[in-house]
Amino acid sequence: MAYINKIILKTFIDGPGSRMAVFMQGCNLRCKYCHNPETWNLCIHCGECVKNCKKGALFFEDGKVKYNKDLCAKCDVCINVCPNNSTPKYEIMSAGDVYKIAYYNKDFLDGITLSGGECTLQYEFILELFKLIKENTKLTTFIDTNGYIEFDILKKLIDVTDGFMFDLKALNSENHIKLTGYDNEKILKNLEYVSKNGLLYEVRTVLVEGFNDSEDEIEKISEYIYKLNSYTKFKLIPFRPLGVKGELSNMESFDKEKFEKCYNISKKILKSRLKD
Ligand code: SF4
Ligand code: SF4
């Protein structure tokens, strides 16, 4: 069983081709620019969202908050008022439940991508799901991760996964700590291991003003990707405040001209591997 924040039946931005994306609840980093902080924690049933839902879609049953999809207006007030960076809308599903959805849609899909939150926290579910997918379909299996995983777990996941997408918040350890609260040693070790196994499909870096947008950081991160291998795509993404809570919630979108400059620095180093 796993906590599932949401499932998108068809997306073209979460790996190669047309994919079903499964966003899982729970995360082990606390990135200041996170645009879905409601995926961080499990619900503690405090009831704040129940009080604020104008549609009666949330209610208590046996001391637990329940959600009625049919009454929901999708206003996201519940998410905005939650003091716990959670949501009352996630579901508990088995690998078999998610597999059935993928199987039913398999003719319209190239693959399935697990994302989050940090999906690898629920790695046993992933192992079971990906095994089912591999045994019964031709769909490819991808994982979108922050890379902060125990090495033993990563090794298990590699056996059933066709590709990984890593978020690399910063190469400079101090910048990484400022952005996420953790250093990046474990993440880099994992990223390099996945790269050596030929499975590092994409690396993404969100540029946040004053945190990881210096020329030095962009150059170093691009050189790092360049030396890593000759196949991984690198994607620079400008910060946007949408969904962000806390310290950076009032920060403006990353400046277009500055982004262009960062993009060109990286492009010089990586040339064809930099994605728009
Ligand atoms: S979703 Fe948030 S606000 Fe609602 S009961 Fe759970 S913890 Fe409280
Ligand atoms: S999004 Fe949340 S607050 Fe809005 S109607 Fe649905 S359950 Fe209620």
**How many domains does the chain contain in total?**
2
65 lines ligand 2 (CB under 6 A): no
One domain, residues 56 and 21: no
Half-sphere exposure of 26 (CA within 13 A, CB side): 14
- For residues 178 and 201, state if they share a domain: yes
Domain boundary pick from 56, 81, 106:
81
Per-residue model confidence (pLDDT) at position 89? 97
The pLDDT score that the predictor gives to residue 214 is 95
Q: Is residue 196 part of a domain?
A: yes
Identify whether residues 66 and 154 lie together within a single domain.
Answer: no
Ligand at shortest distance from the CA of 86:
1
Q: Which atom of ligand 2 is nearest to the CA of 68?
A: 7
Compute the distance between CA of residue 94 and CA of residue 128 in angstroms, rounded to an integer. 9
Distance in Å, CA 236 to ligand 1 centroid: 33
Nearest-atom index, ligand 1, CA of 88: 1
Q: Which ligand is nearest to the CA of 82?
A: 1
Contact of 24 with 47, CB cutoff 8 Å: no
Q: Is 75 in the pocket of ligand 1 (CB under 6 A)?
A: no
Q: What is the pLDDT of residue 271?
A: 84
In this structure, are strands 233-238 and 274-275 parallel, antiparallel, or unpaired? parallel
Residue 184 sits in which domain range? Answer: 2-38+91-275
- Residue indicated by tokens 């003003």: 209
Judged by its nearest atom, the ligand closest to the C-alpha of residue 76 is: 2
Q: What are the helix and strand counts (H, E) for the chain?
A: 9, 11
End-to-end Cα separation, the chain, in angstroms: 37
Residue 115 to residue 4: CA distance in whole angstroms? 10
Supply the DSSP string of 113-165, one letter for each residue.
Answer: EEESS-GGGGHHHHHHHHHHHHHH---EEEEEE-S---HHHHHHHHTT-SEEE
Question: Do 177 and 128 belong to one domain?
Answer: yes
71 Cβ below 6 A of ligand 1: no
Which atom of ligand 2 is nearest the CA belonging to 77?
3
3-state secondary structure of 236: strand
Query: Going by CA atoms, what residue is nearest to atom 8 of ligand 1?
Result: 46
Residues 68 and 145 in one domain: no
Mean pLDDT by groups of 10 residues along the chain of 276 residues? 97 97 97 95 98 97 96 96 97 98 98 97 98 98 97 98 97 94 96 98 96 95 95 95 93 97 94 66
Residues 240 and 205 in one domain: yes
Q: For a substitution probing ligand 2, which of 43, 55, 91 has the most ligand atoms within 8 Å of its CB?
A: 55
75 & 26 share domain: no
Ligand 2 touching residue 81 (CB < 6 A)? no
pLDDT, residue 179, reads 94
Q: Is the CB of 55 under 6 A from ligand 2?
A: yes
Using a 6 Å cutoff on CB, does residue 75 contact ligand 2? yes
